[in-house]
A and B are shown apart, each in its own frame.
Chain A
Amino acid sequence: MSINSISGCIGCGTCVQSCPTDVIRLNEKTGKAVIAYPADCQICHLCRMYCPVDAITIAPEKSIPVVISWG
Chain B
Amino acid sequence: METKKRTPYLLIGALFYLVIPFLYLFLADFPERTTLKDGISFLTIGAFFLMLGQFYLTRINKVTLKGNKFTKVIGKHKVIGYVFIPVLMLHPFLVVVPRYFEAGVTPYDAFMTMITTFQSSGIIIGLIAMALMVLLGITSMLRKRMKISYRAWRLSHGLLSIIFVILATWHAIDLGRHTDVIMSTYMIIMAATGIFFLLRLYFLQPQLKGGNNE
Contacts and interface: CB of A to CB of B under 8 A. Distances in A.
Instruction: Give yes or no for direct A-B contact (beta carbon below 8 Å).
Output: yes
Interface of A: 4-5, 7-14, 31, 48-55, 57
B43 interface: no
Contacts of A51: 104-105, 110
B147 interface: no
A12 B80 CA distance: 33
16 contacts: A7-B30, A7-B31, A8-B175, A9-B175, A11-B119, A12-B113, A12-B114, A12-B119, A13-B119, A49-B104, A51-B104, A51-B110, A52-B109, A52-B110, A54-B104, A54-B110
A50 B119 contact: no
A56 B10 CA distance: 37
Contacts of B121: 31
A42 B177 CA distance: 24
Given A7-B178, A54-B98, A54-B99, A12 B117 contact: yes
Most buried by A among B33, B95, B177, B178: B177
Interface of A is mostly: loop
Interface string B164-177: 00000000000111
Interface in B98-119: 98-99, 103-105, 109-111, 113-114, 117, 119
Contact of B103 (A5, A49, A53, A57): A49
B61 interface: no
A14 B119 CA distance: 13
B7 interface: no
A57 B33 contact: yes
B110 A53 contact: yes
A14 to B, nearest CB: 6
Contact of B123 (A10, A49, A55, A57): A10
A8 B30 CA distance: 12
Contacts of B194: none
A54 B106 CA distance: 11
B170 to A, nearest CB: 14
B177 A11 contact: no
A52 B83 CA distance: 26
B96 A52 contact: yes
Interface in B175-212: 175-178
A54 B31 contact: no
B91 to A, nearest CB: 11
10 A-B pairs with least C-beta separation: A8-B177, A52-B110, A49-B104, A52-B113, A12-B117, A11-B120, A57-B31, A7-B177, A52-B114, A10-B120
Contacts of A9: 175
Nearest to A54: B98
A7 B122 CA distance: 13
